[in-house]
Structure 1
Amino acid sequence: MNETTDAVHQDWDPRAESVLDDQIAAYDAMRSRCPVAYSDYLQWSLFRHADVKRVLEDHDTFSNAASRHLSVPNAMDPPEHTRFRRLIEPYFGPGPMAAFEPHCREIAESLVARLPESGEIEAMAELGQNFALEIQCAFMGWPTGLHEPLRDWTRRQHAATLAGDRQALGELALEFDGVIRDLLETRRAAGDAAPDDVTTRIMNETVEGRALSDEEIVSILRNWTVGELGTISASIGILMRYLADHPQLQARLRGEPELLPPAIDEILRIDAPLMSNRRRTTRPVEIGGRHIPAGERLTILWGSANRDEAVFGDPDAFRLDRDPEDNLLYGAGIHVCPGAPLARMELKLFMEALLADTVQLKPIPEKPAVRAKFPAGGYSAVPLRVTR
């Protein structure tokens, strides 16, 4: 096909009910039928592992600057990205992770302890969302009084996203930024008495010898928080549903909790908590047999690339001996998720607490899990029966 034909031909409809009802199954089908597909909604979608890896590793051709708004450092390219990445990475280093671990473990154990002795739960609302809210506010040093406002904001933001309501999304973005700015002002007013936490430390950072602007600070904190709330919550739902459906693996992990780190990564490879990211072409390029002009938007579909048969064989086969370099759960290349150490620690500690304080997780046949709709991954509801 030539570029003009490619640019107008609709290869698929990402918003079709058949796609939204089960994104994973739909992406599996697209990976073999049309691995680089065009749509008005997402422009160019990439389904194959090799194509995604190529994009991740060639940041000169495939730019991260795909947002209309300041996004630090997510939507930046080198050298600007490098400067901010150097500032951010130490927050997720071994020292800060070790210091936060006891508090993280306490939150996980406290949350699990609130479960009923026996009965039905909805894992997303009762555990996934609660854990994400509590753990993220604790990491940032934010007050517990923000838990419910953030829960309500997340609900409204998700509804506006599904509805494609740009005006509402813009208003919600301003609302969230206002919450962060209030936190910054509170710390500035406290002066030397401001808490020594992640938020205060970010406020005092410099880049190339200058102080960060409030816009940059807000962007960093927004990206950390919004991304964390969605992906950690989705991950909890996916993990609990998978173990409920696989009682032999559940029993093995109860007896061998040291296997949790690779098991968690493998389950989240099979069923992605984060569905997509964006890139933009800086020059004309051919990928997957398609000719793509400069300035086009690409949608990387993690939920497909991490299930590519060319790399993983049977994508649904759970294996603990896979090469971790193949798993794109946290991305790859210079934009690999800086918060991966924190996310891995949070999920490990949560699952340790859950498996240690329960005897059994079981699905409820008459109440099946409900898949989340794009751009969310995982599930919107995971009813389970728990025995402690």
Structure 2
Amino acid sequence: MSDTHQQDWDPRAEGVLEDQIAAYDEMRQRCPMAFSDYLQWSLLRHADVMRVLEDHDTFSNAASRHLSVPNAMDPPEHTRFRRLIEPYFGPDAMAEFAPTCQAIAEAVVDRLPADGEVEAMTEMGQDFALEIQCAFMGWPASLHEPLRAWVRRQQAATLAGDREALGELALEFDGVIRELLESRREAGDAAPDDVTTRIMNESVEGRALTDEEIVSILRNWTVGELGTISASIGILMRYLAANPELQGRLRADRRLLAAAIDEILRLDAPLMSNRRITTRAVEIGGHRLEPGERLTILWGSVNRDEAVFDGADEVRLDRDPRDNLLYGTGIHVCPGAPLARMELEDFMQALLDATVEIFLLSDRPAVRALYPAGGYSEVPLHVRR
């Protein structure tokens, strides 16, 4: 489509990548629906994104070249798989996992120095994301370091735009999952009763899931979780270190913690974007789009829209939570939101319990992550316990 649309911006320009959030704020004022060869149509305004999320007939999720269950599906296929998946994140499942979640959060936080520096992304965020996700899936601790190395290589290939390497990495990850499936099949009745085994035994429309479908579900849960949970930990720790007044409020009243987490992550998105594709001609954001045009929802802009959030750059704990699209909305709202909220709240609870102060380092500022990652690549802080 780039031969028919004028380039409004370059999302990979150095000035944009230096601070994506600031760049999106500026674009939202100047050009709230912007075209680029890289992202096609970028949506930066809350109202436009709400329209897309609520009209899944016109704005399809089937924007991936590969099977992605159920992320890149539309009804009725999406509905069948969502019905299968949602109980894994329902109240009973969360209650069952809660003691493990709390124990892992406390164990990770317990590694903090008594009085010293910590790099919050690698030492806290990545450790917690790896350990909590493997525990939830029922995967062995021996996978922590191979998965950490895989994530690093995937991030490097993504930043380099190396499609060949990304394809090889996807096959490598799928191979890990297939080995886990095979070991459970060999174990038969002795296989562990965990999330992975339960997914293997699911059916849809009266038939067993294919291995390709099982791998896709487990891949989406794991890859997405590893990136967004670690990014969220870095964002949250840095924000509290930079805002001692809020840090003090949360230490004094933990009942504010859940609202504060969602509000801080509204300001600074851990997940930067999602994609859609038009199924028919449509007018949106002052533009006419034809069928087959690709859109990128920029969550890093949408949740900071001044038209919806008064004082959008401030943390306010009394906002209407329905306006916050941290986990999306509509039929494609993130099914894992209950798990993510529990994980982040448990981690922050443990962090506040185990420390008396978290503050920034004057000589080592945090380093922003580059698109498509959200948050930070490095968050050096000082903690006192």
Counterpart among 114, 119, 126 of residue 111 in structure 2: 114
Q: Do residues 308 (structure 1) and 305 (structure 2) align?
A: yes
Query: Which residue in the other structure is 2:50 paired with?
Result: 53
Deviation sequence 1:134-156 (CA, Å, 0-9, x none): 00000000000000000000000
What is the one-letter code of the residue matched to 2:267? I
What is the one-letter code of the residue matched to 2:237? M
2:283–2:289 Cα contact (<8 Å) kept: yes
2:2–2:37 Cα contact (<8 Å) kept: no
What is the one-letter code of the residue matched to 1:115? L
What is the one-letter code of the residue matched to 1:99? E
Query: Which residue in the other structure is 2:71 paired with?
Result: 74
Q: Offset at 1:7?
A: 3.1
Counterpart among 263, 269, 273 of residue 272 in structure 1: 269
Counterpart-to-counterpart distance in 1, 2:354 and 2:268: 25
Counterpart among 313, 321, 324 of residue 324 in structure 1: 321
Q: Offset at 1:5?
A: 9.0
1:9–1:38 Cα contact (<8 Å) kept: yes
Query: Which residue in the other structure is 1:341 paired with?
Result: 338
Q: Do residues 218 (structure 1) and 194 (structure 2) align?
A: no
Query: Which residue in the other structure is 2:380 paired with?
Result: 383
Counterpart-to-counterpart distance in 2, 1:11 and 1:23: 16
Counterpart-to-counterpart distance in 2, 1:37 and 1:293: 16
- Give the gaps of 5 or more residues in structure 2: none
Query: Which residue in the other structure is 1:293 paired with?
Result: 290
Deviation sequence 1:250-301 (CA, Å, 0-9, x none): 0110111111111000000010000000000001111110111110110000
Counterpart-to-counterpart distance in 2, 1:162 and 1:290: 30
Query: Which residue in the other structure is 2:239 paired with?
Result: 242
Q: Offset at 1:6?
A: 8.4
Report SS of the residue matched to 2:4.
Answer: helix
Report SS of the residue matched to 1:307.
Answer: coil
Query: Which residue in the other structure is 1:28 paired with?
Result: 25
What is the one-letter code of the residue matched to 2:288? H
1:6–1:290 Cα contact (<8 Å) kept: no
Q: What does 1:140-159 correspond to in 2, within 5 Å?
A: 140-159=137-156
Counterpart-to-counterpart distance in 1, 2:234 and 2:321: 22
Deviation sequence 1:158-214 (CA, Å, 0-9, x none): 000000000000000000000000000000000000000000000000000000000
Counterpart-to-counterpart distance in 1, 2:62 and 2:2: 26
What is the one-letter code of the residue matched to 2:236? L
Counterpart-to-counterpart distance in 2, 1:100 and 1:14: 40
Report SS of the residue matched to 1:312.
Answer: coil
Report SS of the residue matched to 1:310.
Answer: coil
1:6–1:38 Cα contact (<8 Å) kept: no
Identity %: 78
1:274–1:377 Cα contact (<8 Å) kept: yes
Coordinate RMSD, CA, aligned: 0.9
Counterpart-to-counterpart distance in 2, 1:145 and 1:199: 16
Counterpart-to-counterpart distance in 1, 2:43 and 2:291: 16
Q: What does 1:104-253 correspond to in 2, within 5 Å?
A: 104-253=101-250
2:369–2:377 Cα contact (<8 Å) kept: yes
1:364–1:383 Cα contact (<8 Å) kept: yes
TM, length-normalised to structure 1? 0.98
What is the one-letter code of the residue matched to 1:55? V
4+ long deviations beyond 6 Å: none
Counterpart-to-counterpart distance in 2, 1:295 and 1:246: 45
Report SS of the residue matched to 2:71.
Answer: coil
Report SS of the residue matched to 1:286.
Answer: strand
TM, length-normalised to structure 2? 0.99
Counterpart-to-counterpart distance in 2, 1:222 and 1:345: 21
Deviation sequence 1:32-63 (CA, Å, 0-9, x none): 10011100000000000000000000000000
Counterpart-to-counterpart distance in 2, 1:7 and 1:155: 37
Query: Which residue in the other structure is 2:90 paired with?
Result: 93
Query: Which residue in the other structure is 2:351 paired with?
Result: 354
Counterpart-to-counterpart distance in 2, 1:186 and 1:125: 30
* Residues 112 and 5 of structure 1, relative CA distance in 2, 3 Å threshold: closer
- How many residue pairs get aligned? The number is 385
Query: Which residue in the other structure is 1:103 paired with?
Result: 100
1:205–1:212 Cα contact (<8 Å) kept: yes
Counterpart-to-counterpart distance in 2, 1:301 and 1:8: 19
Counterpart-to-counterpart distance in 2, 1:240 and 1:88: 31
What is the one-letter code of the residue matched to 1:251? G
* Residues 5 and 201 of structure 1, relative CA distance in 2, 3 Å threshold: closer
Query: Which residue in the other structure is 2:80 paired with?
Result: 83
Report SS of the residue matched to 1:7.
Answer: coil
Q: Offset at 1:8?
A: 2.8
2:327–2:337 Cα contact (<8 Å) kept: yes
Counterpart-to-counterpart distance in 2, 1:19 and 1:232: 24
